[in-house]
Amino acid sequence: MSRDINVLLVDDCPDFRALVRHYLRQNAPDVTLTDYDPEVQGLPADSFRWSRYDLLLLDYQLGDGGDGLSWLAELRDKDGFPPTVLVTAQGNEYVAVRALKLGAEDYIRKQDLTATRLVEVVREASRGRSPAAAAVPSVNKTTLQPGPEETVVRGINGYRMMRKIGAGTQSRIYLAERLSDDLQVALKIVAISAMDDEDVLRRFEREVNALERIASPHVVRLFDQAFADDCGYIAMEHLPGGDLRERMDGQFDEDVAVDWMRQLLQGLAVIHSAGVIHRDLKPTNVLFRGADTLVIADFGISRPIDTDTEHTTEGMLLGTPAYMSPEQCLGDSVDARSDLYSAGVMFVEMLTGLRPFRGRSVAAILHQHVHEPIPRLDATLAHQQPFVDALLSKQRADRPATAGEALELMQASVH
């Protein structure tokens, strides 16, 4: 039986404390939050029972109460002191580095805070301290033992680690600075122990190979890749503009949807010309450079076209159900037209705010991709229906053969 995760929030702003409480109450009922107003309560006394908390969310500037980093330096050696996440409005990487050097687990900018991000940070940072957090199956511990964190503590030669910005089952992604020129990069790290699993190693190599072959403003740039003592790493372009999912709260203006779909197809045209199929196109794998340049990322399960005539890994569906083509759902071979199907699903979501196929279970969604008719768009978007129908055709032979053909077809649909 797991117990609640106990979180202590130290912040001088009542509105921010109310927001955090609201987000956790709505989205993580197993988290118990305790407020602490540093302006009123001051620095906790020596008798403060830190062991009651699984996580400390600590504001950087505590109003008249002082400075969160000074608090961390003074308190971190206390008995039972919990993992700490620094919360700040500063948005300053220098502050982030100082916090991590003082032992903070992570760093969140207040302007980046969403309910999803907050819950993710709370669960991740309190992992290992709280049985409840440890029970959350978001990370496959067997494939992460020992995890890449051990390597990160020592650092990767040539890079200065700043903060964790993402995680997968076999990898961690850090914001890092290249020492030679201070370039900020997204450093994806996979532990060598995880690569004992041949499939993990193959995916790492595929991602590197795919990125090395592709040069497009609409594809994430690769700067460097290598194997260090106990990990493999890929230094990629850092894209802080967020992903398409974050911008998909509701439907867009049609012009915006069309513009972003055009950029997506332009990126796919280059990827496919380089002989690579992405195979996992979805909004979280589509990032932004600046405000409006769309960039395709995460080639972790991509494959060269000429080796993809066989079925996917035995018994495994690779991809994300909501965006998978019928042939992927059936475990058949995939080709460039499978990526076009996924792009079509995203286009419908951009136009309408809803994915074309939704269900209560993975099986239900897969069934719909394979068997259900393509949903009809509203009358105001009817001119886009032929383009959507082409991309979402159940039979790949009925889809455009290339991203270039899809672009031409889209152009014909613009009214």
Choose which of 110, 245, 289, 383 interacts with another protein (CB under 8 A).
Answer: 110
How far is 37 from 23, CA to CA, in rounded Å? 19
Q: Is residue 367 near another protein by the rule CB under 8 A?
A: no
Of 56-64, 305-313, 369-377, 378-386: span binding another protein (CB under 8 A): 56-64
CB distance 390 to 410 below 8 Å? no
Q: Is residue 245 near another protein by the rule CB under 8 A?
A: no
Beta bridge partners of 174: 164, 187
Using alpha carbons, list the distances in angstroms from residue 367 to 24, 166, 328: 35, 31, 12
How far is 290 from 287, CA to CA, in rounded Å? 10
Q: Is residue 12 near another protein by the rule CB under 8 A?
A: yes
Choose which of 61, 184, 293, 333 interacts with another protein (CB under 8 A).
Answer: 61
Choose which of 19, 330, 374, 377 interacts with another protein (CB under 8 A).
Answer: 19
Q: Is residue 362 near another protein by the rule CB under 8 A?
A: no
Q: Is residue 94 near another protein by the rule CB under 8 A?
A: no
Query: H or E segment at 54?
Result: none
CB distance 370 to 326 below 8 Å? yes
Q: CA quadruple 247, 253, 256, 262: dihedral positive or negative?
A: positive
Q: Is residue 15 near another protein by the rule CB under 8 A?
A: yes
Smaller CB separation from another protein, 74 or 112: 112
Choose which of 63, 80, 103, 128 interacts with another protein (CB under 8 A).
Answer: 63
Of 50-58, 59-67, 196-204, 299-307: span binding another protein (CB under 8 A): 59-67
Q: How far is the CB of 90 from another protein (least distance, A)?
A: 9
φ, ψ for residue 42 (rounded to 5)? 70, -175
CB distance 391 to 343 below 8 Å? yes
Of 22-30, 45-53, 219-227, 308-316: span binding another protein (CB under 8 A): 22-30
Choose which of 2, 3, 18, 313 interacts with another protein (CB under 8 A).
Answer: 18
Catalytic residue among 12, 243, 280, 298: 280
Block residue for tokens 């136009």:
351
Of 20-28, 227-235, 259-267, 391-399: span binding another protein (CB under 8 A): 20-28
Q: Is residue 117 near another protein by the rule CB under 8 A?
A: no
Tokens of 221: 């740039």
How far is 412 from 415, CA to CA, in rounded Å? 8
Q: Is residue 250 near another protein by the rule CB under 8 A?
A: yes
How far is 377 from 353, CA to CA, in rounded Å? 11
Q: Is residue 201 near another protein by the rule CB under 8 A?
A: no
Block residue for tokens 């002989």:
275
Count of positions (residues) in the chain: 415
Q: Does 280 participate in catalysis according to the annotation?
A: yes
How far is 257 from 261, CA to CA, in rounded Å? 6
Q: Is residue 352 near another protein by the rule CB under 8 A?
A: no
CB distance 7 to 34 below 8 Å? yes
Q: Is residue 240 near another protein by the rule CB under 8 A?
A: no
Smaller CB separation from another protein, 29 or 250: 250
Of 55-63, 163-171, 186-194, 400-408: span binding another protein (CB under 8 A): 55-63
Three-class SS of residue 167? strand
Question: Nearest to residue 398, comparing CAs of 326, 350, 345?
Answer: 326
Q: Is residue 374 near another protein by the rule CB under 8 A?
A: no
How far is 167 from 173, CA to CA, in rounded Å? 6
Q: Is residue 42 near another protein by the rule CB under 8 A?
A: no
Which residues have a catalytic role annotated? 280
* Contacts with another protein, residue ranges (CB under 8 A): 12-16, 18-19, 22-23, 26, 59, 61, 63-64, 88-89, 110-111, 113-115, 249-250
